[in-house]
Amino acid sequence: MLATKNSNISLIGVPMQFGADRAGVEMGPTAIRSSNIQTRLEALGYRVNDLGDIHVNRVQDGYGPVAKLKYLAEIARVNEELAQVVSQEMGNGQLPLVIGGDHSIAIGTIKGVLQHKSRLGVIWFDAHTDVNTAETTGSGNIHGMSLAVLLGYGHPSLVSIAGEHTRVNPRNVVIIGARSVDPGERIFLKEQGIRVFTMYDIDKYGMKAVMEEAMERVTAGTDGVHLSLDLDGMDPMEAPGVGTPVRGGMSYRESHFAMEMLHESGMLVSAEVVEVNPILDQNNMTAKAAVELVGSVFGERIL
């Protein structure tokens, strides 16, 4: 049973580690591929074209001209290329599925999608909200700024990727699973009016109610939904191989149920799966979970 109106998937790897500034996450695409993501999708009836990996220059100076934005130049370059590839694939009638790599690659993925879906809804599964800027960041790591960039806030070399006009509407963004939010991010989220479902909301109302409200928001007046799936949204007991684990996350079944509900909407037009770090993983547990969640969002069912 196909999850979308599009049965043609382009698999795009982005072995990016600089947004997280921690070694290992650049091996995420290999770990996800070795966990048989293509075979799983093909078993569901999809035609999968694996485009390989976008090249990332490994030797980089941590700080460029903007001291609080680590590896800015290379992250901007890679995301510019990713946006072009994603846009080209969508123009060819493909559904882009990007595998990372750290969460900074969401900039390129979504910027590319916005070339074709200007009223895009975004579901951001993450322990973090990723709306820091150079003014609020404590680490300088751009993977914690990607959603802010997509809303139009951040360094010009990032915001301008694929055109400054390409940005998401905060009314069509939901964050699910948040439990680690910086002080500056709290202010930003309230100012932007972004709906954040914290773990408190999931505990209190259940994933069904959370996803029903989330889907209502991301599909209201939109022309498709993008899934940004950060594996640290899950509890570290379920997904230990992530660079920034936070205790008390979504369970394995809660995560699958959310993916299953997104599948049922028929609105998925693009997705990325990020932050799988094989160095920190246990028996490839996190990469396997990532592939299993992808299976659910693309229509895999128990019966």
Binding residues for Mn(2+): 103, 126, 128, 130, 230, 232
Token code pair at residue 261: 């509900």
Give the up-direction half-sphere exposure of residue 234: CA atoms within 13 A in the CB hemisphere.
Answer: 30
Backbone phi and psi for residue 149, each to the nearest 5 degrees, phi listed first:
-60, -45
Taking Cα atoms as reference points, which of 6, 2, 25 lies closest to residue 270? 6
Contact predicate 250/239, CB 8 Å: no
Could you give the residue numbers annotated as active site?
103, 126, 128, 130, 143, 230, 232, 275
Give the integer Cα–Cα distance in Å for 130 and 52.
Answer: 27
Q: In sequence order, what DSSP letters do the residues of 245-279 get, joined into one string?
A: --SS-B-HHHHHHHHHHHHHHT-EEEEEEE---GG
One-letter amino acid at 294 equals: V
Contact predicate 232/276, CB 8 Å: no
One-letter amino acid at 144 equals: G
Give the up-direction half-sphere exposure of residue 41: CA atoms within 13 A in the CB hemisphere.
Answer: 27
Three-state SS at 81:
helix
Token code pair at residue 158: 């990032």
Element (H, E) at 34: helix 28-34
